[in-house]
Amino acid sequence: MTLGDMLANSAKAGPKRKAIVFKNQQLSYEELNQRAICLAQNLRQLGLKTGDQVAVLLPNCPEYIIAMFGIFKAGGVLVPINSFLTPNEAAYILEDCEAATLISSAKFSRQLAACSKLDTLKNTIMVGEVRSGQARSRQSCSGQVSFDKLLAPNTSVQLPKLNPDNRAIIIYTSGTTGHPKGALLSHNNIIANVSSCSKVIKLSHKDRFLVFLPLFHSFTLTVTVFFPCFLGARIILLETIARDEIRQAVVRLRPSVMVGIPTVYNLFSQMSLSWVARWMNPVRIYVSGGAPLAVEVLEKFQQKFRRTLLEGYGLSEASPVVAINPPQKAKAGSVGLPVPDVEVKILNNQGNLAKANEVGELLVRGPNVMQGYLNRPQATKKSLIDGWLHTGDMARIDEEGYIFIVDRKKEMLIVHGSNVYPREIEDVL
């Protein structure tokens, strides 16, 4: 099964079920699937071939999710661009992956201006208004195309049949030098990871996922987009992380699952909460990822909200979920147990298998592990050895198999769930 097949299956199982709720917009699974098909047909009409990279630089919006599944159905490879990157950083990623197509909006005019200079970029698909004055002058490119126009049916184009091992996503993740590397993830990598998550956290199509983390992040993509689409569940999409908007969405739209980063849970643990709000809280499951969760924040949050907060661990190269605390037996300070079908082990400084509670580098193996890094054969050889992904994270595993992340092997800071390296800070200074 490919990611496009996954959406089609959910649309067939529950065509009228709501897939996305965003502000005053609602899309059913049938509508989402049909729009993705139309986009895929028109992308092929524009010249997209199987295996071609398509970059997406958008804020959280329904068009982002439509674009993702349209790219998958067309046989393309999704390259989500971090919307916080500078124009030169965004252009570097497009040049590195040789993306011929970029889907974006006028909000990112500075990044678009930098990317328009690339010889490899042929088409810029604009969500919202297309300004003729911004069209590119070079004859080699077709300039800007309206996203809305690409949602019209185009039955003259036949969509390709794909293999689950085909490349689906390239997630760019920084290395120790600060230069981003593209982790190559297949359809099978992502679906295997979603399937593993579903075996730990028992949810159904009746659940509602509150999504406010940026969609370009691998954690957000797998846990809050692909997971609910796998289930046929509802995605309640917010444009930004804003405490008041989150609170209003909880009251009005009644989500049952909330996925956030420690910064968000720290803010929520400090807010005032009446007994009425606590009693009427519809959220059953809270999940934290993207960065280490302080035990103090965990305890304060659980005491205030009287719900279990499940901490997990992952990295982009593993699609990204490696471990999560089981709802039945979560352990504070731990990132939980490996998800089903994923193996982990610790190697000590001597390169030997570590004993229980001995600190060493965490290694991961499973169907969720990436195919390698784009155009980085040496980096791939260093990270993937005998099928094991060397994470660069120092950890220990206790007698019950729970993983405790201790430190980073590489020099790096984590700010709001994103990697920041000393080299980047030095460059800015």
Q: Is the pLDDT of residue 220 over 60?
A: yes
Residue type, 368: N
- Mean per-residue pLDDT, 148-167: 96
Do 285 and 419 fall into the same domain? yes
Cβ(336)–Cβ(323) below 8 Å: yes
Residue 11 belongs to some domain of the structure: no
**Of 189, 216, 169, the residue nearest 64 (C-alpha):** 216
DSSP string computed for 250-272? HHHH--SEEEE-HHHHHHHHHS-
Residue 170 belongs to some domain of the structure: no
Do 213 and 106 fall into the same domain? no
Do 138 and 257 fall into the same domain? no
Do 139 and 204 fall into the same domain? no
CA dihedral 122, 124, 125, 129 (to 10 degrees): -140
Do 343 and 255 fall into the same domain? yes
Query: At which of 133, 162, 191 does a domain end?
Result: 162
Measured CA to CA, the distance from residue 2 to residue 8 in angstroms comes to 10
Residue 5 belongs to some domain of the structure: no
Q: pLDDT at position 143, please? A: 74
- Mean per-residue pLDDT, 411-427: 69
Q: pLDDT at position 172, please? A: 96
Domain of residue 128: give its range.
22-162
Token pair 């649309």 in the structure block, residue: 11
Structure tokens at 300: 């304060």
**Lowest mean pLDDT across 92-96, 172-176, 319-323:** 172-176
- What CATH number does residue 190 fall under? 3.40.50.12780
Q: pLDDT at position 416, please? A: 80
Residue 313 belongs to some domain of the structure: yes
Cβ(371)–Cβ(185) below 8 Å: yes
Residue type, 268: F
Do 337 and 221 fall into the same domain? yes
Do 218 and 108 fall into the same domain? no
Do 41 and 73 fall into the same domain? yes
What pLDDT, in 10s, does the model give residues 288-297? 998 889 999 9
Residue 371 CB-density burial (10 A; 0-12 exposed, 13-18 middle, 19+ buried): middle
Residue 266 belongs to some domain of the structure: yes
**Strands annotated E in 8-149:** 18-22, 25-28, 53-56, 77-80, 101-105, 123-127, 143-146
Task: Output the average pLDDT for the chain.
Answer: 92
Measured CA to CA, the distance from residue 146 to residue 32 in angstroms comes to 18
Work out how many domains the chain is built from and give that number: 2
pTM metric for this prediction: 0.93
- Mean per-residue pLDDT, 259-267: 94
Do 411 and 282 fall into the same domain? yes
Do 152 and 202 fall into the same domain? no
Q: pLDDT at position 138, please? A: 37
Residue 85 belongs to some domain of the structure: yes
Q: pLDDT at position 274, please? A: 80
Query: At which of 104, 134, 162 does a domain end?
Result: 162
Do 190 and 142 fall into the same domain? no
- Mean per-residue pLDDT, 34-45: 98
Q: Is the pLDDT of residue 238 over 50?
A: yes
- What's the pLDDT band for 345 if we cut at 50, 70, 90? very high
